[in-house]
Amino acid sequence: MAAADMHHRTAEFRQLFTKVLTQMQQFIGTANDVVILSSSGTGAMEAAVSNLTSPGDRVLVLSAGKFGERWTSVAKAFSCVPEVVSAPYGSTVSVEEVKAKLTPDIRVLFMQATETSTGVRHDVSGIAKLLKGSDTLLVVDAITGLGTTHLDTDADGIDLIIGGSQKALMVPPGLSYLAASGRAWKRMEQSKHSRYYFDLPKERKNQVKGESAYTPSVALIAAFGAALDYLEAQGGGDLPAARRLLIDSAERCAAMTRAAVQALGLKLFATASPAAAVTAVKAPAGADSTDVVKRLKSDFGAVIANGQGEMKGQLFRIAHLGYFDYMDTISLIGALEHVISAIAPSSNYELGSALAAAQRVFADSARQTQAAAR
């Protein structure tokens, strides 16, 4: 980020930006053009709505948590008429339920890959298959999905996929990025919304030349470059391979965590379709999850998240994205054993039982990886 003294209308910056945009395509796993915006993730969600729709458009929102609800709010803010397929917090929506609400006049379907507020994974591929051959565009908020979930953007035909700097890419907050399909770029030409700053075709025109329409966040783009170089090195110079390793690591840490918390007698908040980005766990009976979050911080310096909105106090969320790996997961689980026995003294487990459960998951996963390599 010390490269922030670079002027953005120079060959030096164009070279950096062009390299980052190419690496970003490999990180997402797409041949579609990528655009980086100077905003948090919600800015890219808004840009998707304002560029792909027109006032009065009927859209379908898949909603099972705070971020699904955000799609509905943004769609309404741009005078779209959202139809909502919803599931209770902690659950996902079935493909059949989506199919039942999908009529040919639906212009865009908006969904999350992973609903970070509840720790749920949605079936992106299953829903993408429903849309094949129709005029309905598929927009996926993969802000915590990218780098934690195996997504096949081009084969599934995801028309617009969104990521954010502060999630699996391990960069400070402040940038969002997206990749849009040929169909999506065409649809943008028809949009009747007025827009100025978040004008995606205008950004694309500039970014293919290594420029951005307005002053870019040079420091954060340099940080993207460093993060993507770091990942690429982990994949032996192969960024798509590095992405797969990163995702496998998140999946493994999530599986370790699920086994561990259940060994402590705790219940998962998302049972049927848990995400690998984050594991949401119900607070011990009679306890407040705020105490779990506070004690992990005060006693162990470990940071986890509380429930969001009305879920605050009911659940806590453990992240697996980005640099969180085996070492972080094991130490967090060790600390959690102490915290839960302090907060819920009636909970009945031997110290080390959650660690043992996590260790077994890791050992099985390592054995499978070795067998696959053989």
Ligand X SMILES: *Cc1c(COP(=O)(O)O)cnc(C)c1O
In the complex, which residues of this chain contact ligand X (CB under 6 A)? 40-42, 67, 112, 116, 141, 143-144, 164
**From the CB of 164, what's the least distance to ligand X, in Å?**
5
CA dihedral 54, 129, 126, 94 (to 10 degrees): 60
Buried b (16+ CB within 10 A) or exposed e, 276-285: bbbbbbbbbe
> Which of 170, 355 has the CB closer to ligand X?
170
CA dihedral 345, 308, 276, 20 (to 10 degrees): -140
> Which of 40, 290 has the CB closer to ligand X?
40
Contacts of 297 (CB under 8 A, 6+ apart): 303
**From the CB of 176, what's the least distance to ligand X, in Å?**
7
| Cβ 80 vs Cβ 139: under 8 Å | no
> Which of 112, 207 has the CB closer to ligand X?
112
| Cβ 164 vs Cβ 38: under 8 Å | no
**From the CB of 30, what's the least distance to ligand X, in Å?**
19
**From the CB of 141, what's the least distance to ligand X, in Å?**
5
**From the CB of 254, what's the least distance to ligand X, in Å?**
15
| Cβ 314 vs Cβ 307: under 8 Å | yes
- Cα–Cα distances in Å, from 193 out to 40, 120, 196, 234, 260? 21, 32, 10, 43, 49
> Which of 29, 41 has the CB closer to ligand X?
41
Q: Is 154 helix (H, G, I), strand (E, B) or coil?
A: helix
> Which of 30, 144 has the CB closer to ligand X?
144
> Which of 112, 217 has the CB closer to ligand X?
112
**From the CB of 19, what's the least distance to ligand X, in Å?**
24
Q: Which of 182, 227, 222, 171 is nearest to 204 (CA)?
A: 182
Please classify residue 37 by burial: count the beta carbons closer than 10 Å to its beta carbon, then call 0-12 exposed, 13-18 middle and 19+ buried. buried
Total H helices, total E strands in the chain: 13, 12
**From the CB of 103, what's the least distance to ligand X, in Å?**
26
> Which of 174, 235 has the CB closer to ligand X?
174
> Which of 13, 67 has the CB closer to ligand X?
67
Give the separation between CA 39 and CA 46, rounded to whole angstroms. 10
Please classify residue 139 by burial: count the beta carbons closer than 10 Å to its beta carbon, then call 0-12 exposed, 13-18 middle and 19+ buried. buried
> Which of 41, 90 has the CB closer to ligand X?
41
Give the separation between CA 117 and CA 314, rounded to whole angstroms. 12
**From the CB of 227, what's the least distance to ligand X, in Å?**
16
**From the CB of 62, what's the least distance to ligand X, in Å?**
12
Cα-based angle 102, 311, 67 (whole degrees, multiple of 5): 35
Residue, CB closest to ligand X? 41
Distance, first Cα to last Cα, the chain: 41
